[in-house]
Amino acid sequence: MQVAYFVNQYPKVSHTFIRREIHALERQGIAVQRIALRGWDTDVVDAADRAERERTQYVLQQGLRGLLAAVLRTALGRPAGLMRALRWAVQLSRHNERGLVYHLIYVAEACRVVEWAEAAGARHLHAHFGTNSAEVALLARLLGGPSYSFTVHGPEEFDKPQGIHLREKIAHSSFVVAISSFCRSQLYRWALPAQWDKIEVVRCGVESAFHDGADPAPNASRQLLCIGRLSEQKGHLLLIEAAQLLAMDGLDFTLVLAGDGELRAELETEIERRDLVGLVRITGWVDSAEVRRLLLASRALVVSSFAEGLPVVVMEAMALSRPVVGTHIAAIPELVEEGHSGWLCPAGDAQALAAAMRRALETDAAQLARMGAQAREAVLALHDVDREAQRLGELFRTRHTGAAA
């Protein structure tokens, strides 16, 4: 079976889970065509991502001229479908933070996607994220293109479900993937009850190559590690405040922030202002091999987020037998269990976060080893990438409905 994958930007350093899913599907015998809007000129640090970039077709690479040519061919070849998509673009622009012009551009992008998918023989189109990529997939379907599905991760989709017309996207799809039970429950809020049976839980997975051969022994270092984009929703400013509380109590520790993003300058200022230089450092973006090395060199992973889906780094840490300090939000408690595979605390509470980090630092070696083993067992039971890809592949085979009339 040939399936087309459509993503806003691919490859991307924070979207390694998409690459892993594609590779796992290909191991199942499903041919995957990669289509993205952008990403051909983006620096990527991982060699595997560079290889993916060479295999990806980019809708916007040829600029406006390429899009207009695709629209003209569509107007000549399927005028009724183009009119249908244009009418829907007007409807989808209502209540959306982006104006009508953007949605008309999405129609043009859909024209190009349909051409490429049909040329490759793709019988189904799968989008990651329920935002603009899912809209392009919907418009492609309305043009007369292949059936579509999409994966919802959160939290962005749940911040503005009416604005992005999540209900309409679900209604026109063959099925929708939720990455967790929590995610499914949020989709139930916005889907019509008659559509609930379309929503399936398929979890993000961790490759065995990432965790095989790792020493399961707990790391006795005093290093705590936070991995993720330096953005508002990740709670890094609160994490730095929690680190200051621990430092004021005289605890021996270091905190590494692995990642980059729009808050980096502000975070560096806060680290200096709170006299944490030498205790807290920022690495910038790191590749998968460095993520693995940093996790194995750390005592525990810390997730201070205010909003999440389910961070892949939580799965990676647990697969490497590293327990997790996490906020009690979204799907994190589905995987991290207090006192067994990690320590949970309320989001938005620096004192509570500091207390959870303290518990991680004060846990003795024997208990740390037990928690690491329990963490690994839990994640491998739920998040094996090949098993989840097999479930997704079965949905592709049984739920797609062919090209629209």
Q: Looking at residue 78, what is its pLDDT?
A: 97
d(CA 398, CA 395) in angstroms, rounded, equals 5
d(CA 374, CA 366) in angstroms, rounded, equals 13
Q: Looking at residue 398, what is its pLDDT?
A: 95
Domain with CATH 3.40.50.2000 in the chain: 2-205+385-399, 208-382
Number of helical (H) and strand (E) elements in the chain, helices listed first: 18, 13
245-269 pLDDT, tens per residue? 999 999 999 999 999 999 999 999 9
Class of the CATH domain delimited by 208-382? alpha beta
Mean pLDDT of the 206-235 span: 92
Q: Which of 296, 319, 338 minimizes the C-alpha distance to 382?
A: 319
d(CA 223, CA 294) in angstroms, rounded, equals 9
Mean pLDDT of the 370-395 span: 97
Residues ≥6 apart with Cβ < 8 Å to 328: 344, 345, 346, 347
DSSP class per residue in 201-216: E----B-HHHHTT---
Q: Which of 28, 30, 31 minimizes the C-alpha distance to 55?
A: 31
Q: Cβ distance 142 to 116 under 8 Å? A: no
Residue corresponding to tokens 């079976």: 1
Q: Which of 336, 334, 319 minimizes the C-alpha distance to 376?
A: 319
Q: Is the pLDDT of residue 401 over 80?
A: no
Report which DSSP code applies to 45.
-
Q: Looking at residue 402, what is its pLDDT?
A: 65
d(CA 250, CA 245) in angstroms, rounded, equals 9
Q: Is the pLDDT of residue 405 over 60?
A: no
DSSP class per residue in 46-108: -HHHHHHHHTEEETTTTHHHHHHHHHHHHHHH-HHHHHHHHHHHHHHHTT-SS-HHHHHHHHH
Mean pLDDT of the 313-325 span: 97
Q: Cβ distance 322 to 301 under 8 Å? A: yes
Mean pLDDT of the 338-345 span: 98
Looking only at the bridges linking them, the beta strands covering 254-258 and 324-327 are unpaired
Q: Looking at residue 300, what is its pLDDT?
A: 98
Q: Looking at residue 378, what is its pLDDT?
A: 97
Cα 222 to Cα 74, 264, 278, 358, 367: the distances in Å are 60, 24, 13, 11, 15
Q: Is the pLDDT of residue 404 over 80?
A: no
Confidence of residue 220 (pLDDT cuts 50, 70, 90): confident
Q: Which two tokens stand for residue 335?
A: 């995987």
Mean pLDDT of the 188-197 span: 97
Q: Cβ distance 226 to 301 under 8 Å? A: yes
Q: Which two tokens stand for residue 294?
A: 């940093």
Q: Is the pLDDT of residue 319 over 60?
A: yes
284-294 pLDDT, tens per residue? 999 899 999 99
d(CA 356, CA 218) in angstroms, rounded, equals 18
The mean of the pLDDT values for the chain is: 96
Beta strands in 205-329 (DSSP E): 223-227, 254-258, 280-284, 300-303, 324-327
Domain 2-205+385-399 CATH superfamily: Glycogen Phosphorylase B; (3.40.50.2000)
Question: pTM for the full model?
Answer: 0.95
Q: Looking at residue 124, what is its pLDDT?
A: 98
152-184 pLDDT, tens per residue? 999 999 999 999 999 999 999 999 999 999 999
7-44 pLDDT, tens per residue? 999 999 888 999 999 999 999 999 999 999 999 998 88
109-129 pLDDT, tens per residue? 999 999 999 999 999 999 999
Residues 125, 128, 132, 133, CA torsion sign? negative
Q: Which two tokens stand for residue 154?
A: 């959160």
Q: Is the pLDDT of residue 400 over 90?
A: no
Mean pLDDT of the 214-234 span: 92
Cα 139 to Cα 257, 373, 396: the distances in Å are 40, 47, 19
Among the listed ranges 205-219, 254-268, 339-353, which one has the minimum average pLDDT value? 205-219
Q: Looking at residue 403, what is its pLDDT?
A: 61
Q: Which range in 103-107, 209-213, 218-222 is most confidently predicted, on average pLDDT?
A: 103-107
Task: Provide the percentage of residues in the chain whose pLDDT is more than 90.
Answer: 93
Q: Looking at residue 214, what is its pLDDT?
A: 85
Identify the residue with better confidence: 148 or 214. 148
Q: Cβ distance 253 to 246 under 8 Å? A: yes
Q: Looking at residue 40, what is its pLDDT?
A: 96
Task: Provide the percentage of residues in the chain whose pLDDT is more than 70.
Answer: 99
